[in-house]
A and B are shown apart, each in its own frame.
Chain A
């Protein structure tokens, strides 16, 4: 087994195992420094971020909303984690020269052509549906897929299987036919 992949990346088993070590270190560090164990996740941050935006023009609506009240709109540990993810990927891709400005990805282009507008609509609508789902299920592939599975949570097994099953079925329908 090679440590480097053909595209210049790291062996996924190796990089994944390092994420496992990071998760352990993070659980320990958050407990020691913040007094509460925090597990890696990402989707709650989107609620907080849009809460900040909505506060600008509809602050009363935000204050009256039970979900925003329960989530607490603040720049917390996870919010900074999501910003950190952006920076970490930027640093990694710039230093190994895999950074690439891309408007439409190849698989999408094969099926739907090179129109940025089509890709934007797909990503936007997909994003809306996915985030409603993630908040309803109370987690995404980070919160359920990584953190929940590491604790053998029943809800995470169910969520991950459904993420994949519904995703595979949708992908088969959406991408299988070639663009003519």
Chain B
């Protein structure tokens, strides 16, 4: 294995271990969040974002790493986002957690993985059509909220933290 592959494997093992310990990969937790009954996955995800964003912005400010925004292509993100949400609710896993769910013995994740492989092949076939239609509507490019609003990311980080902590108190108060 190359350095790249070894690094990916190690990162994945730690990530999968933490996903499993956080109990966020199960169908029950994923659907529980979508039914607004159990917000465990959002507690987990938003905590990761809060911590991660601080280090990621420090590293990029120091010029050590680079940011990599995904393009704000309106048609693609809106239609893709809606399709993903519909499929997610029926499947009960997401791409990363399906691999983890299989690891903790959820055999039905195999069918989700097979479906996603077929979905990827279908997308590749549809790509020429999609790139000349939906994906060609309007693209704002690879922008961050900091670029869109014209403020430093260090103005937005504390606002994000405050909003998320508020949300956490709400989750705990409601027993979600």
Q: Give the B-binding residues of A (Cβ under 8 A).
A: 5, 7, 9-10, 12-24, 26-31, 33-34, 37, 39-43, 45-47, 49-51, 53-54, 65-68, 75-93, 96, 98-108, 116, 119-172, 174-176
Assembly CA distance A98 to B91 (angstroms): 22
Measured CB to CB, the nearest residue on chain A to B3 is A33
Measured CB to CB, the nearest residue on chain B to A98 is B104
From B33, B49, B102, B120, contact of A150 by CB (8 A): B49
Asked if B170 is at the interface of the complex by the 8 Å CB criterion, the answer is: no
Q: Are A86 and B16 in contact (CB under 8 A)?
A: yes
A157 shortest CB reach to chain B, Å: 7
B64-81 interface (Cβ within 8 A of A): 64-73, 76-81
Chain A interface mostly helix, strand, loop or mixed? helix
* Known contacts A9-B23, A20-B47, A130-B83; is-contact A156 B70 (Cβ 8 Å): yes
B interface bracket (residues with beta carbon within 8 Å of A): 35 or more
Measured CB to CB, the nearest residue on chain A to B5 is A80
B95 shortest CB reach to chain A, Å: 4
In the complex, 20 of the A-B residue pairs with CB atoms within 8 angstroms, ordered by the A residue number, are A12-B23, A15-B22, A23-B48, A34-B4, A47-B124, A81-B12, A88-B13, A88-B14, A92-B17, A124-B115, A127-B116, A133-B80, A152-B145, A152-B153, A153-B142, A154-B69, A155-B71, A158-B81, A168-B35, A171-B31
- In the complex, besides A20-B48, A20-B49, 16 extra interface pairs with C-beta distance below 8 angstroms are A12-B40, A24-B55, A29-B11, A42-B96, A68-B124, A80-B12, A83-B99, A89-B101, A119-B111, A129-B83, A130-B115, A131-B116, A131-B117, A141-B96, A156-B69, A170-B90
Pair count A-B, CB < 8 A: 521
Q: Are B105 and A24 in contact (CB under 8 A)?
A: no
Asked if B84 is at the interface of the complex by the 8 Å CB criterion, the answer is: yes
Q: Are B95 and A43 in contact (CB under 8 A)?
A: yes
* Known contacts A26-B11, A153-B143, A166-B85; is-contact A143 B70 (Cβ 8 Å): yes
Assembly CA distance A167 to B90 (angstroms): 8
Q: Are A85 and B100 in contact (CB under 8 A)?
A: yes
B31 shortest CB reach to chain A, Å: 5
Assembly CA distance A140 to B116 (angstroms): 12
Q: Are B35 and A23 in contact (CB under 8 A)?
A: no
From B7, B87, B96, B103, contact of A87 by CB (8 A): B103
> Which A residues touch B137, using CB under 8 A?
none
B101-132 interface (Cβ within 8 A of A): 101-109, 111-128, 130-131
> Which A residues touch B36, using CB under 8 A?
168
